């Protein structure tokens, strides 16, 4: 039997190198030929997308269609014979669509910066890399940039699986006329990092308050003496740590790369399944993709049974609720706004019927948007 290790040890190096090159040559030729075919096919696809762009311009239709992109990814996955993983194909196709779309139109989208934040990762997960990301210093600024029309879209964090709702985003949803056109769910890993890779001189650890909260047990167990200081974002904490040896940051690996920091401990979040959901906001009202959800804000008068009655139309129309969150209405009267996500698109008949009944019963009612469910 041919044993590569044995033959590599007994034969002169030059000869085993030659054997390796000879064995790889036909396979590499095959890959080169397949790449040539892929280049032709990808450009053919791009030419087709350009023609789609011409048609859309003629009819004054929106170029970026998140619902269509979701359907494309779904179809690709349904047709996947393997061995490539569905997740890998989704990543590849998002980039292919991003490149095709960029030929029709360039998209600018605001996110909670600086560069290196999870919001930036969410931005690329949604739009692919052919998008101009505009970093903002706060969630308020992201909303303002989209409302002012400086950018077409924004990405804001909505909810974390460990820490719950991002309350500032929920409050701003109340005030804005913008719509949610899509969502992104990201696995969020936090890493403890600093400039030297040695924690001896570190006195404080900085991060966004959500990240500090998501790592609180780990920090208490491992670095109880470090003062925890909240800052505007994890990437900002990383930037600060790059200039001060007494500072460590909790942030994403991309922030360590960007600011030249060493990761001292990787994946220090208390919950290994830690995920954050982001909303894409803009003026576009996403059409049905066939696998959607709808976000609403409601309030009811403060009286017995009001919430129960409010939600009855969902059950009556067979509409499932997938999220329910409350925020004080700040009226001083123990009144609340309820943030409710339901399965389905607002144009689906059962959802439309349920929404109409909810609208009639609620003291306050607003549809934030229908959009493809992230997976």
Do you find a cis peptide bond into 114, omega within 30 degrees of 0?
yes
Contact (Cβ atoms closer than 8 angstroms) between residue 235 and residue 250: no
The residue among 76 and 185 lying less far from ligand ISJ, judged by its C-beta, is: 76
107-112-114-115 Cα dihedral, nearest 10 degrees: -50
Active site annotation includes 64: no
Q: Is 176 helix (H, G, I), strand (E, B) or coil?
A: coil
**Of 355, 104, 274, 65, which is closest to residue 182 (Cα–Cα)?**
65
Rounded to whole angstroms, the Cα distance separating 68 from 212 reads: 38
The residue among 154 and 157 lying less far from ligand ISJ, judged by its C-beta, is: 154
The alpha carbon of residue 188 and the mean position of all alpha carbons in its chain are separated, in whole angstroms, by 10
Least separation, in Å, of the C-beta of 56 and ligand ISJ? 7
The residue among 91 and 162 lying less far from ligand ISJ, judged by its C-beta, is: 91
- By CB under 6 A, name the binding residues for ligand ISJ: 49, 52, 63-65, 68-69, 72, 97, 100-101
Question: Which ranges of the chain does DSSP label H, i.e. alpha helix?
Answer: 4-10, 13-59, 66-78, 86-104, 118-127, 139-147, 167-175, 209-214, 216-222, 234-241, 253-258, 306-316, 349-361
63-67-70-75 Cα dihedral, nearest 10 degrees: -100
Least separation, in Å, of the C-beta of 112 and ligand ISJ? 24
Active site annotation includes 278: yes
Rounded to whole angstroms, the Cα distance separating 91 from 184 reads: 13
The residue among 69 and 147 lying less far from ligand ISJ, judged by its C-beta, is: 69
Pairing type for strands 191-194 and 321-328 reads: unpaired
The residue among 25 and 39 lying less far from ligand ISJ, judged by its C-beta, is: 39
Catalytic residues: 276, 278
């Amino acid at each position: 039997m041919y044993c590569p290790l044995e033959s590599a040890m007994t034969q002169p190096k030059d000869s085993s190198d030659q054997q390796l090159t000879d064995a790889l040559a036909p396979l590499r030729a095959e890959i080169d030929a397949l790449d040539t075919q892929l280049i032709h096919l990808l450009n053919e696809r791009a030419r087709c997308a350009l023609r789609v762009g011409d048609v859309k311009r003629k009819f004054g239709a929106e170029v970026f269609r998140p619902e269509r992109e979701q359907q494309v990814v779904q179809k690709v996955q349904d047709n996947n014979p393997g061995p490539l993983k569905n997740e890998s194909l989704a990543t590849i196709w998002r980039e292919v669509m991003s490149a095709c779309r960029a030929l029709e139109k360039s998209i600018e989208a605001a996110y909670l910066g600086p560069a290196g934040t999870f919001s930036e990762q969410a931005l690329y997960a949604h739009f692919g890399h052919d998008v101009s990301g505009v970093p903002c210093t706060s969630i308020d600024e992201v909303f303002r940039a989209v409302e002012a029309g400086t950018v077409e879209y924004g990405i804001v964090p909505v909810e974390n699986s460990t820490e719950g709702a991002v309350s500032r985003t929920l409050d701003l949803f109340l005030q804005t006329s913008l719509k949610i056109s899509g969502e992104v769910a990201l696995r969020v890993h936090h890493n403890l990092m600093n400039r030297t890779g040695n924690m001896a001189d570190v006195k404080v650890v900085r991060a966004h308050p959500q990240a500090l909260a998501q790592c609180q047990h780990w920090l208490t167990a491992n670095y109880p003496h470090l003062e925890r200081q909240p800052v505007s974002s994890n990437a900002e904490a990383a930037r600060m740590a790059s200039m001060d040896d007494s500072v460590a940051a909790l942030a994403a690996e991309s922030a360590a790369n960007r600011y030249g920091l060493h990761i001292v401990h990787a994946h220090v979040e208390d919950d290994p399944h830690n995920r954050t959901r982001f909303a894409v906001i803009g003026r576009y009202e996403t059409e049905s993709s066939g696998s959607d959800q709808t976000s609403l804000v409601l309030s009811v008068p403060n009286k017995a049974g009001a919430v129960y009655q409010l939600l009855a139309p969902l059950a009556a129309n067979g509409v499932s609720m997938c999220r329910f969150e409350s925020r004080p209405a700040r009226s001083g009267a123990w009144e609340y706004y309820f943030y409710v996500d339901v399965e389905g698109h607002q144009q689906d008949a059962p959802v439309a019927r349920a929404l109409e009944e909810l609208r009639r019963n609620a003291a306050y009612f607003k549809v934030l948007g229908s959009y493809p469910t992230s997976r």
